[in-house]
């Protein structure tokens, strides 16, 4: 069993925002491999099962807000008795990578991302693969200097960024497929080929402030 989790915020007002890049990839995986399969409310998420190359897979889009993503992930991991380092992939937006880039790592810190922080807290480990979709400024990543990070990631992609976003999402889908069918190392080799230099996050990223939506933290 492989567990593939796309992170985002539920609700139409967040559709196509930068922070929902994980949802965008999950939607493409659903359309490609599980079209027609019933979507169920399980593990505090919209979930759908499919099989790829004889590997059983569960695709999740948590219906909690981003800062509570770990509740959904931990519940599914424990129910199926999965090894996060081998069986889990989290697909997430990354402000420190520019739009159009994709990178896959076997673990690491949160870079100030509250979804990853929630998962790490509730799993008790940061050793789980995360497929990161660049949503930062061109050409090196990061956010505009005078815009709060929460406001930036809750904004939508610009028309100039759209032609870069689509192939990145397609590449992320293929990386997830490789993870399912061949394992982490082949998926990393594919996803990270030609990866741009990553803009380093602050050494101690400040907590992301709450948005105007009650209960929502990015």
> Are 2 and 75 spatial neighbours (Cβ–Cβ below 8 Å)?
no
pTM listed for this prediction: 0.90
Of all residues in the chain, the percent with pLDDT exceeding 70 is: 89
In angstroms, what is the C-alpha Rg of the chain?
16
**Does the pLDDT at position 125 exceed 50?**
yes
pLDDT, residue 30, reads 97
Which of 155, 73, 66, 60 has its CA nearest to residue 113? 66
Q: Residue 211: what pLDDT?
A: 45
Specify the DSSP element, H or E, that contains 182: helix 162-182
- The pLDDT tens digits of the residues spanning 157-170 come to 999 999 999 999 99
Q: Which CATH superfamily is domain 2-191 in?
A: Peptidyl-tRNA hydrolase (3.40.50.1470)
Annotation marks residue 30 as catalytic: no
Instruction: Decide if pLDDT at 81 tops 60.
Output: yes
In which band, very low, low, confident or very high, does the pLDDT at 28 lie, cut at 50, 70 and 90?
Answer: very high
Instruction: Please list, in sequence order, all residues whose beta carbon lies within 8 angstroms of the beta carbon of residue 80, skipping any fewer than 6 positions away.
Output: 1, 3, 58, 87
Adjacent-strand bridge partners of 178? none
Mean confidence (pLDDT) of the chain: 91
Residue 175: per-residue pLDDT:
98
CA angle (194, 197, 201) in 5-degree steps:
140
**Active site residue: 19, 30, 33, 113, which one?**
19
pLDDT in tens, 87-121: 999 999 999 999 999 999 999 999 889 999 999 99
Domain range annotation of the chain: 2-191
């Amino acid at each position: 069993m492989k567990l593939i989790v796309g992170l985002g915020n539920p609700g139409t007002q967040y559709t196509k925002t930068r922070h929902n890049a994980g949802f965008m990839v999950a939607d493409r995986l659903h359309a490609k491999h599980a079209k027609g399969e019933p979507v169920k409310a399980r593990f505090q998420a919209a979930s759908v099962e499919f099989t790829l190359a004889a590997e059983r897979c569960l695709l999740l889009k948590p219906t909690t807000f981003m800062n509570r993503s770990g509740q959904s992930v931990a519940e599914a991991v424990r129910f199926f008795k999965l090894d996060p380092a081998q069986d889990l992939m989290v697909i997430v937006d990354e402000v420190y990578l520019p739009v159009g880039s994709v990178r896959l790592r076997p673990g690491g810190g949160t870079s100030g991302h509250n979804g990853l922080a929630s998962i790490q807290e509730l799993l008790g480990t940061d050793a789980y693969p995360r497929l990161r979709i660049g949503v930062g400024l061109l050409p090196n990543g990061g956010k505009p200097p005078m815009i709060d990070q929460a406001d930036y990631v809750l904004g939508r992609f610009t028309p100039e960024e759209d032609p870069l976003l689509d192939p990145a999402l397609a590449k992320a889908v293929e990386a997830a497929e490789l993870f399912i069918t061949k394992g982490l190392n082949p998926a990393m080799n594919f996803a990270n080929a030609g990866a741009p230099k990553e803009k380093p996050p602050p050494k101690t990223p400040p907590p992301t402030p709450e948005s105007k939506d009650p209960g929502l933290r990015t």
